Structure 1
Amino acid sequence: MLKQKNKSQHLATISLAVMAIGFLITMPIRDSLWGIILQGGFEAGLVGGLADWFAVTALFRHPLGIPIPHTALLPKNRKRIIAGIISMLENDWLTKESIRKKIDTLNFSEKLFSIIDKEIHSKAIQKNFINLIQHLIHTIDTKKIAPVIEKELKSQLYKLDTKNYLPLIIDQVMERKYDEKTLDIILKEVYEWAEKDSTKYKLGGLAVDAVENIKADGFMQFALKSFSNLVNEEKLGNIIQSLILKGVDSFRDPYNPNRKTLMIHIHNKLESVKNDEKVYEELNHLKTQLIGKWEPQEQIISLLNNLKQKAHDFVEEANFFNHYILPIIIDGLENLKATPEKVNSLETWIKQQITSFVDKNHTKIGKLVEENLERLDDKTLITMVETNVGKDLQWIRVNGAVCGFLIGLVLVGIKALL
């Protein structure tokens, strides 16, 4: 652009020089008819070229540096010119109405679908999508989320009604025969405790003390005295131990009537618990106390951190995007395209957002142009204008010289004829 400007400027200077040289050359032959005509043409061309040079130069600077009035028009009227450009942009070329009409003619959803269909399979999109997911995973603050999860978890636990779960637990206990298994465990522990020698002597000592501490009169006192003289701790311990062991064995036998009777009693008690409001009140009270004292925040943070790491590693897998994300996006787009109502709704929403953005920022177009122009000093601004329109301006000078020459020939010719 600068080369074209210099070329046209040189051409304008050359045309002016030609007119001046022609005028000087024709001076010796001005006594002849053709000399008069040619000199008049060159004279008019020189005057026209100089006049146009003055006019073009006066647009940008003072001709020959002389501060002639009404010259250097661009620097003097800079603010008015900028204001005119801004007004022209905002009120004539880029009005809100013209932008809205242009927006209405465009099909944004179709272009959006086309771009997605074209770019969704590219490696760059996949890489950026994975990086975005990993970034979102990394930005999750587990310490801030943990209290929220703890609160919600406790809230849900408080809402649990024991009446909905205790009957189920009791049914499972009887169905899986946990009551019998529990009884067998208790009987086994009792049997192991009762067969110990230390237990035998301890029971015998307790029995002797009990007999000696019985208060009776007359014959009963004599009988108890005689009995205590016949037995000792070991004998009484053997008797009691034997009774306990035999009793335990009988209850451990699945076919023993006593065991069956006990199990029926246990089952009846368990069934009655289902309708015992006091049991439910106690369980609810216990539940409230346990939940209130429970502090799972550290465990939740640890769990969330483990899930974050696993999610991060899972996203890094080579086929994660193609196997999980891409099918979801494609299916979602196909379903959206197949529903005209949704497409129209999307199109309307996009246009509303763009129109709203234009309405809010329309004045910034002029401000942006003004800011960019204000950054330029007069010299730079003049250089830009001359670079872009200087070619046409220099041709004005050329045309002025040529037209002046031709008009001069005609006028002098007419004058000579007359």
Structure 2
Amino acid sequence: MKSRYIAGISLAVMGAGFITTRWWLPDNAWTHLLESGFEAGLVGGIADWFAVTALFRHPMGIPIPHTSLLLKNRAKIVNSLISAMENELLNKESITRKLSGFQLFAGAASAATRLIGKRKFRLAAVDFAQSAVERLPLERVSSVLHGFLADYVKKQDFTPIVRKLADRFVHERWDERALDYGLEHVGHWIRKRETEEMLGKLAFKKLEELKVGGFMGFALQAFVGFMNEEKLGGLIQNMLLSTMQELSHPGSPHRQKLLLEVRAQAEKLADNEELMLKLKQLIEQGVDSVETERFIHLRLEELRQLVLDKLEEQHRSGGRAIVQGYRFATDYLSGKQEMLANWEEGIRGYLVRLIENNHYRIGALVRDNLERMDDKALVSMLEEKVGNDLQWIRVNGAICGFVVGVILSFF
């Protein structure tokens, strides 16, 4: 410490001056005057050195009574320090009073406005977001999501879901939409020339394969001889189209009967335990597959690239979205003063309760840290914090002793 060296130099100057004036300089009034000053300064410097040193350790290692005061009174000093912190410097009342007068949201809004107004800050925020998104371990994230999804599916009971879907299927008339959709697309298929030819060939072949005897067989053979594949296909095609047209009509009794059957079967789906078990097994197999994890990973990659593209746009525009988002938030919250006041009061109340419940931890933390320090470390810390000022006592003692000695020499 610089002050310690200065104090040592002051003591050395007094000692050298005393020796010089005592034995080397000629004997006259001026020499006696200086000798008295240096003598008194030497005594004062040595006395103050002893006093300052006695606070921290035994002077020259000699266990003189009433020295090394800090170590002998370590417990008292620690208790006094903790008491001062808890009851005077950091007491609960002062902290609570400070918090009560502190405008949390106003201070935060003021600081945020200053920061967001700086282009450099906005670009730094965008760069940080880009770096964070680029470093995301998507393989690990996709694996975690895949495992979470698999566990969720295994624990899920699909019976209520199927029952709810069946109820919605019936009440929102999805059955009619499904029937109309099917009739429309099947009708397009039936009207095709290829379909007519196929139906004719299949029907004609099956008629030839029939083995019917008696009058019925005679009538069937006559019918087959009269018909050919083209006529038979057209006949069946017209019959099917006519049937489908009738089923498409809302007032058709056959349509209503078909829909009633569809609804009845839909309502029974959830009660079919075997079907529910197979459905769950099928879903679990699909979720557990490697393709599902790869699908999740690919979607995450696409999402990351989309976010990076948006962030790059923001970098080129100087973080315009940050400003727009901040303005939107401030405009929205400006009309919610009562809500903000309630939030702020709630936060302050929480902080006050937190301080009241944990205030004792301040003293406990200080005590624990001090008790962890050995004597040498404690003395070094105190000397570092207050030793510099105490060393100036030695300098002042030597100088004051010199002045007092000179004055006393006149008497």
Look up the match of 1:296.
Answer: 283
Report matched runs for 1:48-87 at 5 Å: 48-87=44-83
Please state how far the C-alpha of 1:89 moved relative to its aligned partner. 2.5
- What is the rounded CA distance, in whole Å, between the counterparts of 2:247 and 2:406 in structure 1? 140
8 Å CA contact 2:45, 2:394 repeated in 1: yes
One of 191, 213, 228 as aligned partner of 2:200: 191
Look up the match of 1:223.
Answer: none
One of 297, 310, 320 as aligned partner of 1:308: 297
- Tell me whether 1:281 sits opposite 2:264 in the alignment: yes
8 Å CA contact 1:167, 1:274 repeated in 2: no
- What is the rounded CA distance, in whole Å, between the counterparts of 2:244 and 2:43 in structure 1? 136
- Tell me whether 1:94 sits opposite 2:90 in the alignment: yes
Amino acid at match of 2:278: K
Q: Deviations over 1:235-282 (max 9, x none)?
A: 77631423665984673575x9x9859964895343332674x55323
8 Å CA contact 1:44, 1:407 repeated in 2: yes
Q: Deviations over 1:137-177 (max 9, x none)?
A: 44633132235358387643321224322223334455x37
Q: 1:371 to 1:266 in 2, by over 3 A?
A: closer
One of 299, 321, 328 as aligned partner of 1:335: 328
8 Å CA contact 2:82, 2:367 repeated in 1: yes
Please state how far the C-alpha of 1:399 moved relative to its aligned partner. 1.9
Amino acid at match of 1:296: I
- What is the rounded CA distance, in whole Å, between the counterparts of 2:359 and 2:226 in structure 1? 103
- Tell me whether 1:7 sits opposite 2:5 in the alignment: yes
Q: 1:146 to 1:373 in 2, by over 3 A?
A: same
- What is the rounded CA distance, in whole Å, between the counterparts of 1:194 and 1:181 in structure 2? 17
Look up the match of 1:384.
Answer: 381
Q: 1:36 to 1:322 in 2, by over 3 A?
A: closer
**Larger Rg, first or second structure (1 or 2):** 1
- What is the rounded CA distance, in whole Å, between the counterparts of 1:5 and 1:178 in structure 2? 102
Stretches of structure 2 lacking an aligned partner (at least 5 in a row): none
Q: 1:236 to 1:87 in 2, by over 3 A?
A: same
One of 135, 143, 161 as aligned partner of 2:147: 143
Please state how far the C-alpha of 1:73 moved relative to its aligned partner. 0.7
**TM, length-normalised to structure 1:** 0.71
Amino acid at match of 1:111: A
8 Å CA contact 1:20, 1:43 repeated in 2: yes
Please state how far the C-alpha of 1:70 moved relative to its aligned partner. 0.7
Q: 1:362 to 1:57 in 2, by over 3 A?
A: same
One of 253, 256, 261 as aligned partner of 1:272: 256
Q: CA RMSD in A?
A: 4.4
Look up the match of 1:17.
Answer: 15
Q: Deviations over 1:25-56 (max 9, x none)?
A: 49985xx7767665554443333233222211
Q: 1:165 to 1:394 in 2, by over 3 A?
A: closer
- What is the rounded CA distance, in whole Å, between the counterparts of 2:111 and 2:147 in structure 1? 43
Please state how far the C-alpha of 1:68 moved relative to its aligned partner. 1.6
Q: 1:367 to 1:11 in 2, by over 3 A?
A: farther
Q: 1:270 to 1:291 in 2, by over 3 A?
A: farther
Q: 1:10 to 1:368 in 2, by over 3 A?
A: same
Report matched runs for 1:226-265 at 5 Å: 238-242=221-225, 248=232, 251-252=235-236, 264=246
**Partner SS for 1:141:** helix
8 Å CA contact 2:142, 2:296 repeated in 1: no
Look up the match of 1:319.
Answer: 309
8 Å CA contact 2:142, 2:297 repeated in 1: yes
8 Å CA contact 2:11, 2:398 repeated in 1: no
Report matched runs for 1:106-121 at 5 Å: 107-112=107-112, 114-115=114-115, 118=118, 119-121=121-123
Stretches of structure 1 lacking an aligned partner (at least 5 in a row): 212-232
Please state how far the C-alpha of 1:400 moved relative to its aligned partner. 1.8
- What is the rounded CA distance, in whole Å, between the counterparts of 1:358 and 1:274 in structure 2? 72
Q: 1:348 to 1:134 in 2, by over 3 A?
A: farther
Give identity over the alignment, percent. 27
- What is the rounded CA distance, in whole Å, between the counterparts of 1:298 and 1:371 in structure 2? 57
Please state how far the C-alpha of 1:308 moved relative to its aligned partner. 3.1
8 Å CA contact 1:58, 1:72 repeated in 2: yes
Amino acid at match of 1:307: I
- What is the rounded CA distance, in whole Å, between the counterparts of 1:365 and 1:92 in structure 2? 13
- What is the rounded CA distance, in whole Å, between the counterparts of 1:88 and 1:307 in structure 2? 59
Amino acid at match of 1:337: T
Q: 1:132 to 1:139 in 2, by over 3 A?
A: farther
